[in-house]
Amino acid sequence: MTLTRHSPSRGKGSPDIWGFYEEDTGSIQYVCADPATRKAALIDVVLNFDPSEAQTSTDSADEILAHVKREGLEIEWILDTHPHADHMMASAYLKEKLGAPTAIGAKVKEIASLWEGLYNLPGGFDPARDIDVLWEDGANFKIGELDVRVMLSPGHTLGSITYVVGDAAFVHDTLMYPDKGSSRADFPGGSAKELWDSIQAILALPGDTRLFVGHDYGSDERDGPAWEATVDEHKRGNVHVKDGTSKSEFVETREKRDRTLPLPDRMLHALQVNLRGGRLPPAEDDGHHYFKIPANRFQGGN
């Protein structure tokens, strides 16, 4: 059973949120619901993948679908914050099951162009074909009666976005839990300087805004993973960006840390799925799907 936590609505205009922890990649998947209408969105749901056998499964997505059914929710949106490097996204599978539209940030087209070169797959990705909605910075939409605003939040990737829903924000791989600081910014198209600017925009939200991060890997100082903290809690205690930290200090800390990190073990598989909206590469003449993995192209995150 996946670790699940509920962050209840605080009243009118405030969403009900459930976080589902995917242990293999330390990912948190979210259900964000309007308590008044029972309409909801799924955010950053994982398509499970075993890299040792190149085997996919839908266990995490199916568990979330079962939760949606138990709670009597109607899914209006299948949302992702960016093309994830450490896990495959379940958007295409969820659309097949639910019929709801999929969406991600518009700069995914630039990310696709970057990775077409790295995979030597000219024209190999077409996000506008494979994803229903590509959000521009500042776009607005609704989940039930809840207003949602899209913020461009580059740094981890050049096209990452944040979803602000009432008194909650899904900040993906920008911040981590306060005792862990921030997310890496060394993947192609990433930038520690841009990540700082994105985090400052997030921390300019009202102090009681609930921030929901994309990953946690636990800590010896606390019991199990955690993924929710307010803007004020990050300002007081985030080890990378708390009040009094300068941009130059953050960039130096972030870049030094990133130089020590290996590539995620699913990254080179995951991106060629995620840039197709959660679909495997097209089946070949034998009916099977094959990944294309670039050799000797990367050292660490570079």
Q: Is residue 52 part of a domain?
A: yes
In the chain, DSSP assigns E strands to: 4-7, 16-22, 27-33, 39-43, 46-50, 55-57, 74-79, 88-89, 102-105, 133-135, 140-143, 146-152, 161-165, 168-172, 210-213, 228-230
CATH number of the domain encompassing residue 230: 3.60.15.10
The 10 Å Cβ neighbour count of residue 245 is: 15
Q: Is residue 233 part of a domain?
A: yes
What's the domain count of the chain?
1
Contact assessment for residue 40 and residue 24, using Cβ atoms and an 8 Å cutoff: no
Q: Is residue 285 part of a domain?
A: no
Residues sharing a CB contact under 8 Å with residue 203, sequence separation 6 or more, in sequence order: 231, 234, 235, 241
Q: Is residue 280 part of a domain?
A: no
Q: Is the dihedral of CA 165, 78, 158, 170 positive or negative?
A: positive
pLDDT in tens, 120-154: 999 999 999 999 999 999 999 999 999 999 999 99
Q: Is residue 299 part of a domain?
A: no
pLDDT in tens, 238-247: 999 999 999 9
SS3 of the chain: helix, strand, coil, percent, to 5: 25, 25, 50
Q: Cα torsion for 88, 91, 93, 98, to the nearest 10°?
A: 160
pLDDT in tens, 1-43: 689 999 999 999 999 999 999 999 999 999 999 999 999 999 9
Label residue 182 by pLDDT band (50, 70, 90).
very high
Q: Which of 109, 68, 26 is nearest to 275 (CA)?
A: 109
Q: Is residue 143 part of a domain?
A: yes
Q: Is residue 279 part of a domain?
A: no
Looking at residue 2, what is its pLDDT?
Answer: 84
Label residue 302 by pLDDT band (50, 70, 90).
very low
Please give the model's pTM, rounded to 2 decimal places.
0.96
> For residues 298 and 262, what is the distance between their CA atoms, to the nearest angstrom?
10
Q: Which of 82, 125, 140, 75 is nearest to 101 (CA)?
A: 75
Q: Is residue 291 part of a domain?
A: no
Domain around 197: 4-274
Looking at residue 223, what is its pLDDT?
Answer: 87
